[in-house]
């Protein structure tokens, strides 16, 4: 049973979730800066401009298609759903056109006029990254990437339902202009004036058919709509037998089969990685991908990714979990939250199911039986995948755990421990004996015959924990100790309570109960002898501590703090550091090492010199605080006290 105090602690903790690690600063859009960075980005990343523009065109068609599917009043011609690329070598122009949803004047202004993606720049600033830093490869900056290869970008767009078209034009550096213009039919044309070659860069490449074709194949093969280009071929002139001429034929370059519909065996890691960056799932490479095709009562395809790095906003409230949701190939939701439990919120990817209704509302979707089934299925698959990784690819798993282990620990105490069974085998902690990360299962397997508990010690760093006096006795017994350095570790095991019937125990717990019978006897006698003295110490220290006790756990140190009750000293520290600190405190016990020389001095002082005794008590208490990493309430008094005994 979880105690009521612990429940109170958990309620407070739920507010901790998502409020630590990254402080978000308000950031003004610095379009010019970002453009500069982009233009100076390394050559190999420039080619992604094409992927970005094609994705935008595909999104624009998606939007119109979706509208049309869910609203009978909308007329459309399915044959219009394609993306066209035109090359004009002589004038150095590359054009990408779509007959999608289009943009009106306001949208041109707000979508292209300022950089929406200021997040990437903010990230760069917050992390003090140098200008050479590969921000493009890391983020994908959408439309603006066009300026990496162009001197001038022209956007001509007519929105669906609008009768006017507008032209947006910019050379990147000195702002942009918008004016009304002529355009037949709805949709958007993006026209790039390709830069002249420089000593280092061959911009001419982007005017070559073969190059564009290979870029489409590389990055945009899976786009659902045809990507068409006029291909030059040489043909026999009609009516002649030996005269040839150049003719242009419109050809579709991409295969159009979405990656999730393809056979797993035909796909390479690279294909999944391309999909990952094409979709902007993350700015890293995925650590792992899962390709799921379920063909049962409910059918669905899904591609899921476990990222390698923690997204910069992951542990903040801004981070939104969710998977893309498609209904039979049509995107119906960008971030479907109901598909992922919070503890797997780091997973990126998509789900496509034929069985979902297209115009289902968000509210209805929550209760949708199919969706629930898929979510449950996905949860199990992710867990199995992680377990396999832990078993067979330990290094990879440790990389994963470094990035997202904290989320798994949240999962343990979230919902009052409802999912702890699912997650406990995924936990890892640093071990005192192995000097590396170990699982609970490995710990329990190694436990000594006479050992009844799983021991842990909390602190700021492994180094500091190693030096904690409280670890001495446990280490002397030859028991392994798990080191907790994450502020939520202890909360997680408090909710877990035990693993494979072995209870967790802090080395600082008051009831550690590791003394031998002889030691216990000795302790009792000593306590009897010095009862008055301990009472006196308790009186001097007052409310600061619950009791003063003899300690047999200490070997070389004179004092330490232990705690009674549900809240440990480390937990108190975390709770105190939170906004609207709750005032919940650990019940601290000052333990004195009766085998230490100091103990004799203390006894002498108690008998002969009450002032000195008072001084010793306060100093010992403050020393115990310092060892715990707690601050001394009055440092000036403390140093004065030390000076007094030095005199």
Asked if 60 touches ligand ADP (CB under 6 A), the answer is yes
Q: Which stretch binds ligand ADP (CB under 6 A): 137-145, 318-326, 567-575, 593-601?
A: 137-145
SS3 171: coil
> How many residues at the interface with ligand ADP, by CB under 6 A?
15
Strand 437-439 relative to strand 93-98, pairing: unpaired
For residue 52, the tally of other CB atoms under 10 A from its CB is 22
Alpha-carbon gap, residue 214 to 320, rounded angstroms: 34
Alpha-carbon gap, residue 389 to 106, rounded angstroms: 49
Task: Give phi and psi for 403, each to the nearest 5.
Answer: -80, -40
Q: Strands of 348-353's sheet, edge to edge?
A: 286-295, 299-307, 348-353, 323-327, 330-336
Asked if 142 touches ligand ADP (CB under 6 A), the answer is yes
Provide the Cα torsion 508, 510, 515, 519; round to 10°.
Answer: 120
| Closer by beta carbon to ligand ADP, 111 or else 415 | 111
| Closer by beta carbon to ligand ADP, 142 or else 311 | 142
| Closer by beta carbon to ligand ADP, 279 or else 321 | 279
Q: Which stretch binds ligand ADP (CB under 6 A): 136-144, 269-277, 315-323, 561-569?
A: 136-144
Alpha-carbon gap, residue 467 to 315, rounded angstroms: 30
What spatial distance separates the first Cα and last Cα of the chain, rounded to whole Å? 54
Of 153, 180, 177, 185, give the one whose Cα is nearest residue 165.
180
- Judged by CB under 6 A, the residue of 37, 103, 194, 347 near ligand ADP is 103
CB of 509 to ligand ADP, least distance (A): 52
| Closer by beta carbon to ligand ADP, 216 or else 481 | 216
Alpha-carbon gap, residue 464 to 466, rounded angstroms: 5
Question: Using an 8 Å Cβ cutoff, are 423 and 390 in contact?
Answer: no
| Closer by beta carbon to ligand ADP, 58 or else 327 | 58
Asked if 571 touches ligand ADP (CB under 6 A), the answer is no
Q: What is the DSSP string of 75-106?
A: ---GGG--EEEEEETTTTEEEEEE-SS---HH
Asked if 105 touches ligand ADP (CB under 6 A), the answer is no
CB of 25 to ligand ADP, least distance (A): 22
Q: Which two tokens stand for residue 467?
A: 């030096």
Closest residue by beta carbon to ligand ADP? 142
Touching ligand ADP, residues 318-347 (CB under 6 A): none
Angle, CA 449 vertex, CA 447 and CA 451 arms, to 5°: 60
For 161, residues 6+ apart whose C-beta sits below 8 A from its C-beta are: none
Task: Give phi and psi for 271, each to the nearest 5.
Answer: -65, -40
Chain centroid, CA 580 distance in Å: 26
Of 9, 30, 208, 6, give the one whose Cα is nearest residue 120.
30
- Judged by CB under 6 A, the residue of 143, 413, 455, 621 near ligand ADP is 143
Site string for ligand ADP, 190-209 (x = CB under 6 A): --------------------
Asked if 545 touches ligand ADP (CB under 6 A), the answer is no
CB of 405 to ligand ADP, least distance (A): 30
Touching ligand ADP, residues 39-58 (CB under 6 A): 52, 56-57
CB of 328 to ligand ADP, least distance (A): 23
- Residue holding tokens 């002529």? 182
Asked if 120 touches ligand ADP (CB under 6 A), the answer is no
- Residue holding tokens 């009791």? 547
CB of 119 to ligand ADP, least distance (A): 11
| Closer by beta carbon to ligand ADP, 223 or else 292 | 223
For 258, residues 6+ apart whose C-beta sits below 8 A from its C-beta are: 222, 224, 329, 352
Alpha-carbon gap, residue 439 to 394, rounded angstroms: 11
Q: Which stretch binds ligand ADP (CB under 6 A): 101-109, 130-138, 177-185, 450-458?
A: 101-109
CB of 166 to ligand ADP, least distance (A): 12
Q: Which stretch binds ligand ADP (CB under 6 A): 28-36, 97-105, 171-179, 434-442?
A: 97-105
Asked if 100 touches ligand ADP (CB under 6 A), the answer is yes
- Judged by CB under 6 A, the residue of 101, 156, 290, 408 near ligand ADP is 101
Q: Which stretch binds ligand ADP (CB under 6 A): 96-104, 198-206, 358-366, 378-386?
A: 96-104
| Closer by beta carbon to ligand ADP, 144 or else 260 | 144
| Closer by beta carbon to ligand ADP, 31 or else 431 | 31
Q: Can you give the binding site for ligand ADP, defined by CB under 6 A?
A: 52, 56-57, 60, 98, 100-103, 111-112, 142-144, 188
């Amino acid at each position: 049973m979880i105690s009521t105090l612990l429940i109170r602690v958990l309620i407070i903790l739920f507010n901790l979730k998502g409020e630590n690690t990254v402080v978000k600063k308000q950031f003004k859009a610095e379009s010019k800066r970002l453009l500069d960075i982009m233009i100076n980005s390394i050559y190999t990343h420039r080619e992604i401009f094409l992927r970005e523009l094609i994705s935008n065109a595909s999104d624009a068609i998606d939007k119109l298609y979706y509208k049309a599917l869910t609203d009978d009043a909308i007329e459309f011609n399915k044959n219009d759903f394609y993306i066209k690329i035109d090359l004009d070598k002589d004038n150095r122009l590359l054009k990408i056109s779509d007959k999608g949803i289009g943009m009106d004047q306001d949208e041109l202004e707000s979508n292209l006029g300022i950089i929406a993606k200021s997040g990437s720049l903010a990230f760069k600033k917050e992390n003090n990254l140098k200008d050479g830093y590969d921000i493009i490869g890391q983020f994908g900056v959408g439309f603006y990437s066009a300026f990496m290869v162009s001197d001038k970008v022209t956007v001509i767009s007519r929105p669906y339902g609008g009768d006017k078209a507008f032209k947006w034009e910019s050379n990147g550096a000195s702002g942009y202009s918008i004016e009304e213009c002529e355009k037949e039919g709805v949709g958007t044309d993006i026209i790039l004036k390709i830069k002249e070659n420089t000593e280092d860069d061959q911009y001419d490449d982007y005017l070559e058919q073969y190059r564009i074709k290979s870029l489409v194949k590389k990055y945009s093969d899976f786009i659902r709509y045809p990507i068409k280009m006029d291909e030059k071929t040489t043909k026999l002139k009609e009516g002649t037998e030996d005269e040839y001429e150049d003719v242009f034929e419109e050809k579709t370059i991409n295969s159009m089969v979405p990656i999730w519909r393809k056979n797993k065996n035909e796909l390479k890691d690279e294909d999944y990685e391309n999909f990952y960056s094409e979709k902007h799932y993350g700015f890293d490479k995925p650590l792992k991908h899962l390709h799921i095709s379920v063909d049962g009562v409910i059918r669905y395809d899904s591609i899921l990714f476990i990222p390698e790095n923690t997204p910069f906003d992951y542990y903040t409230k801004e981070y939104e979990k969710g998977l893309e949701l498609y209904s039979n190939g049509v995107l119906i939701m960008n971030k479907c939250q109901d598909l992922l439990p919070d503890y797997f919120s780091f997973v990126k990817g998509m789900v496509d199911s034929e069985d979902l209704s297209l115009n289902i509302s968000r509210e209805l979707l929550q209760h949708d039986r199919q969706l629930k089934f898929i979510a449950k299925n996905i949860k199990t698959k992710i867990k199995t995948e992680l377990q396999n990784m832990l078993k067979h690819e330990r290094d990879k798993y440790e990389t994963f755990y470094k990035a997202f282990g904290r989320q798994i620990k949240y999962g343990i105490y979230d919902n009052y421990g409802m999912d702890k069974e699912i997650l406990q085998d995924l936990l890892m902690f640093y071990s005192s004996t192995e000097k590396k990360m170990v699982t609970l299962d490995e710990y329990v397997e190694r436990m000594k015959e006479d050992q009844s508990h799983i021991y842990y010690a909390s602190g700021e760093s492994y180094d500091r924990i190693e030096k904690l006096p409280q670890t001495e006795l446990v280490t002397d017994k030859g028991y392994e100790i798990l080191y907790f350095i994450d502020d939520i570790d202890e909360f997680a095991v408090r909710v877990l309570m035990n693993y494979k019937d072995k209870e967790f125990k802090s080395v600082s717990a008051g009831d550690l109960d590791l003394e031998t019978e002889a030691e216990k006897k000795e302790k009792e006698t000593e306590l009897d002898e010095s009862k008055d003295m301990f009472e006196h110490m308790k009186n001097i220290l007052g409310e600061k501590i619950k009791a003063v006790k003899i300690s047999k756990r200490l070997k070389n140190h004179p004092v330490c703090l232990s705690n009674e009750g549900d809240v440990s000293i480390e937990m108190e520290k975390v709770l105190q550091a939170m906004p609207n600190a709750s005032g919940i405190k650990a019940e601290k016990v000052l333990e004195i090492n009766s085998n230490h020389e100091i103990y004799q001095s203390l006894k002498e002082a108690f008998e002969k010199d009450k002032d000195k005794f008072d001084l010793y008590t306060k100093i010992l208490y403050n020393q115990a605080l310092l060892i715990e990493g707690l601050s001394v309430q009055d440092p000036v008094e403390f140093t004065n006290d030390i000076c007094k005994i030095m005199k």
